[in-house]
Chains A and B, each alone.
Chain A
C-alpha cells in the first residue's frame, strides 16, 4: 500500500481561509496560528492498519509526506523518491513547507502516486482534500484503487471516507480481500481564488476508483436497493427508449450519462460534453460554440445529470451547456437523469441551477421530472442557486 500525506492540507480551514492551495494562503494561515492536520489524520487511519503491519509493505514519500507518520505509528516503511522533492526548480508553484522544513508541491503528490502505481501497490491511501485528490487523479487516472482520508478544507469529492478511522477500516478490509467492491467516485474541486471572493465555481475533474462500503464513504451515504451500476443501466435503458432516431442529444458529463453512451456502444468524454444520436457519436468533447453551431443545423435534445455533492444541474462542471444552448432545447427534449440514492443524499435540499443567466435560472426553476431507473421518475424541486 502507498501512503501520501499532503502536509499542508487543511491548514487554511481552521483559520477560516477556505482552502490551502497557494503559498500565500499557507503563509497567512501559519501566521494566524494554523497547524497542519493531515499527518494527525493519517495516523488515525494507520492505527487501524497496524494489526496487519506484518503483511503490508508500506510505500511512502520521505518525511512529512508519509515517512514521519508511518514511523510514528510503528510501521517500517519503504521510502520512495519523488522528483518534486529532489528537483524543486521544476515545480510549477511551491505550495507548502512541511514541519520538517521541506517545501512540498503538487508535483510531489503526483510523482509519488505514479511511483506507487508503477511499484505495484494494491491501494494508495492519501490524506488531504479535494486538491490532493485532483493531483492523484491527474497522475494515475481512474483505473487504480485510491482512498482519501479526509483532512483538507474542501471535501466535496466523493473519494473520501467519512472519518480517518473509517478510511483505515475500509483500507484494511480491502487489502484483506474482504469482498469490498471498487467504484468510481467524483473528483470535484473549487476554484479557490473565486471561492475566497465569495463565488462558488466547482469543476468536475474526473473519477477515482475507490474501495466502497456505503456507510463509510462521503457523499454516498444513502444505501439503495440496487447497486449504482445496476441503477445506471436501468436509467440508460429508459433514456435510449426515448431517443427518437431523428433527434440528436447533447450528452452532459458524468458516469450516469456515460452509461447511456456505453449501452449504445459509443465512447464518452467523461468530464466533457458529447453529441450523440441513438446509434452514432456526432461530436466528442464539444464546447459551447460547437454546440450552438450544431443547433443551427438541427434540433438537439439534452441528457443531463447533476454534478458534485451539492446537486447542481447546470452551472457546475457542465458550463459548455450555456444559457444560449439551454434556451434552444425544447423543454420536452431535456432528460434529467440521476441515481435515486443521489437524490436521497441531498436530504431534502432542492436541485440547483446556476447558469449565470438569472432569468433563465428562474424559468428553469420549479418541479422537474428526474429519471431514476427504468420507467422510474422522481418529481423534485429545482431552484435557482444564484
Chain B
C-alpha cells in the first residue's frame, strides 16, 4: 500500500516543548519531596546533636535557598528537560567539533554502576581497594604507552583541570631552578584550545598568542619572535581545531627548549592520532588527555569528565599527590612527594570514568586504538568532501590538503550571497534534531562551523547530516526567512547575544541572575 504521507529526506522532526521554568521558579513554600523521620531518642543519646558539633564558622546564618518541591514535580521537571535535549544517544551528534562526541558503550556504564565501584569510599584502607588501584595503575601504563610520557596523574576532573595541573608543574619546575620569577610568559596559538590561555592566566602568567601563517599553520617565525628568557613554556594543541596537523611541531618544541621553556601538548584532539604519533617523539615534556573525549567516557554534561596529565622524567617530582604505585605485591597511594604541586582535585580522580576508559581501551587493544584513529580520519575526510559540495561552504587554509579528525568550515560565501549567518544556520539545524558549534571566540575563520565525525558514525549517518546542511543551504538561497525565523520545531531559543560578552550582565548561577537583574 502506498503511504499517504511518505517520509521525506531529511526526516521530519519535532521536539517536545514544555516551556519549562527554571527549577527555582517552581518552588512552593512548604512542599517537600522527602520527610525525614525525627532522630530516635536512643541514637540522639548516643551521638548527641550533630549540628552542635559543627564549629560556629561552618554554620549557616540563613538556610540555603533550595527549591521546595514534591517528588513527582521534581521527576516531571527533569523528564521534561530531558525531552528538550539532543545528543549522541538520540541523533547524529557530529557538530560539536573538537569535543569528540563519540559513542559511550553502555557496557562500560554497566561496569561503572556495579556496587563493586559505587560502594567504595575514598578513605578505605588500601588493602580493601586493590582492584580499583590496579585499574588506575594499569590505565596509567596504557596512557604512558600511547603518549610516550614517563608518568601520569589521573586526578584532574576534566581537560581544563589537566592543563592547569600541567601549568602548575611547569611553574614548579622553573621555580625549582630559581627561574620562577623571570619566566613569566607562556606562548599558545589562536587555534589551540582557549583553556590553555585561560589556565595560564589563572596561574599568573602573561599569555602570548600566535596567529596562523597564510597557509593556516602555526607561524614558526612568530614563535621565534615570541621566545625569550621570559618564556616559561609553550601550550599548544595539535592538530589544531582547523583539523590541520602542524608538520613543524618538532621544530616548535626545539625552539622553546632552546629558550629554556617547557612544552605542554594539549591532546584534546588526539582522536585522529592515537597509535600513530606520540607526544614524546614530538619533543613534549608534558601532555594531557581528555578521557571523556578520546577514550569514550561521557562528557561533562552527561556525567563527569575526566582528565589525565602526563609528564617526562624531569617533571615527575612535581606530579599531583597521591600517585598510584605498585611494589610488586600490592598497590598503594604515595603521598610522600615533597616537590608535588599538591592536589588539583579531591582524592584520586573520577574513578568511574577511569574504569570506563580502562574498559574501553581493553576492549580495543593496541591495534583497535589505531583503527579508531584511522576510521575517525576517514570519516572526517569523507565528510569534508561531501560538505565542500554544498553551496556556500569552504574549508579555509591548507588548500587541497586532507584534514585529521575535524574541520573548521566557513559559510562566508553563503553569508555574502544571502545575508544568512552561521549563527542563524546553527539554530536552523536544530529543526532537524541536529546541532553544530561555530568556533571559539574570536572568530578567526569567518562564519565558522566546526564538525568532528569521530569513528562512531556510519556513512549513512554522515550522509543524513550532509543532507540537512544541503537543505538549509538551499533555503538560504531561496527562502532565507525560514532560517532567520528558526527554530520552528525545536525548543532552542533565539537569544540576545550581547549580554554574553558582558561580565556585568551574564549570570551562570541563579543567585548571580537574581543579583544582576535585581529580581527577588
Contacts and interface: CB of A to CB of B under 8 A. Distances in A.
Contact of A344 (B194, B206, B442): B442
Contacts of A340: 209, 442
Interface residues of B, number: 36
B440 to A, nearest CB: 8
A178 B496 contact: yes
A378 B225 CA distance: 11
Contacts of B502: 226-227, 229-230
A379 B497 contact: no
Interface in B199-240: 201, 205-212, 214, 219, 221-226
Interface string A219-232: 00111111101100
Contacts of B498: 179-181, 212-214, 227
Nearest to B499: A179
A348 B209 contact: no
A189 B431 CA distance: 44
B503 A226 contact: yes
A222 B211 contact: no
A347 B208 CA distance: 19
A230 B496 contact: no
B423 interface: yes
A372 B194 CA distance: 15
Contacts of A214: 497-498
Contacts of A224: 441-442, 501
Given A165-B419, A227-B498, A379 B210 contact: yes
Interface in B175-213: 185, 190, 194, 197, 201, 205-212
A381 interface: yes
Interface in A341-376: 341, 343-344, 347-348, 366-367, 369, 372, 375-376
Contacts of B190: 344, 378
Contacts of B201: 375-376
Interface in B403-425: 419, 421, 423
Contacts of A178: 496
A13 B441 CA distance: 35
A221 B497 contact: no
Given A213-B497, A222-B442, A377 B225 contact: no
B399 to A, nearest CB: 14
B444 to A, nearest CB: 5
A215 B425 CA distance: 13
Residue with the greatest number of chain B CB neighbours at <10 A, chosen from A223, A347, A366, A379: A379
Contacts of A223: 441-443, 497, 501
A380 interface: yes
A180 B223 CA distance: 40
A166 interface: yes
A214 B497 CA distance: 8
A366 B221 CA distance: 10
Contacts of B222: 367, 379-381
Nearest to A347: B446
A377 B230 CA distance: 14
Contacts of B441: 223-225
A226 B212 CA distance: 22
A163 interface: yes
A49 to B, nearest CB: 16
Nearest to A165: B419
Contacts of A179: 496, 498-499
B419 A166 contact: yes
Given A179-B496, A223-B501, A230-B501, A343 B211 contact: yes
B206 A375 contact: yes
A378 B211 contact: yes
A341 B205 contact: no
Given A181-B498, A344-B443, A366-B225, A377 B423 contact: no
A84 B243 CA distance: 59
Given A222-B442, A379-B209, A348 B214 contact: yes
Interface in A145-182: 162-163, 165-166, 178-181
A230 B446 CA distance: 23
A366 B222 CA distance: 9
Contact of A379 (B205, B226, B423): B226
B442 A348 contact: no
Contacts of A165: 419
Contact of B209 (A221, A225, A347, A376): A376
Interface string B415-456: 000010101000000000000000001111010000000000
Contact of B443 (A162, A213, A222, A367): A222
A366 B496 CA distance: 40
B186 to A, nearest CB: 10
A375 B496 contact: no
B6 to A, nearest CB: 37
Contacts of B221: 367
B444 A377 contact: no
Contacts of A377: 185, 206-209
Interface centre among A166, A227, A340, by most B CB within 10 Å?
A227
Interface in B469-503: 496-499, 501-503
B200 to A, nearest CB: 9
Contacts of B194: 225
B443 A226 contact: no
Contacts of A366: 225
Contacts of B226: 367, 369, 379
A164 to B, nearest CB: 10
Contact of B211 (A213, A221, A348): A348
Interface string A10-29: 00000000000000000000
Given A181-B498, A230-B503, A381-B222, A163 B419 contact: yes
B207 A375 contact: yes
A227 B441 CA distance: 11
B444 A344 contact: yes
A344 B496 CA distance: 22
A376 B207 CA distance: 5
Contacts of B209: 340, 372, 376-379
Contacts of B501: 223-227, 230
A334 to B, nearest CB: 15
A377 B208 CA distance: 5
Contacts of A230: 501-503
A224 B212 CA distance: 18
B225 A379 contact: yes
Given A166-B419, A179-B499, A226-B501, A379 B208 contact: yes
Contacts of B197: 376
Contacts of B497: 213-215, 223
Given A178-B496, A377-B206, A215 B423 contact: yes
A172 to B, nearest CB: 13
B142 to A, nearest CB: 36
B206 A376 contact: yes
A180 B496 CA distance: 8
A383 B212 CA distance: 16
A379 B224 CA distance: 10
B347 to A, nearest CB: 32
Nearest to B222: A379
A162 B447 CA distance: 14
A224 B190 CA distance: 13
Most chain B beta-carbon contacts within 10 A, residue among A162, A221, A223? A223
A212 B501 CA distance: 13
A39 B211 CA distance: 42
Across the A-B interface, give the 6 residue pairs with the lowest CB-CB distance, nearest first: A367-B225, A344-B442, A375-B206, A225-B441, A227-B501, A379-B222
21 contacts: A162-B419, A179-B498, A214-B497, A222-B446, A223-B442, A223-B443, A223-B497, A225-B501, A227-B498, A230-B501, A343-B211, A348-B212, A375-B205, A376-B206, A377-B209, A379-B223, A379-B225, A379-B226, A380-B211, A381-B219, A381-B222
Given A225-B441, A377-B208, 12 more contacts: A179-B498, A212-B498, A213-B497, A215-B497, A223-B501, A230-B502, A348-B212, A369-B226, A375-B206, A376-B197, A378-B210, A379-B219
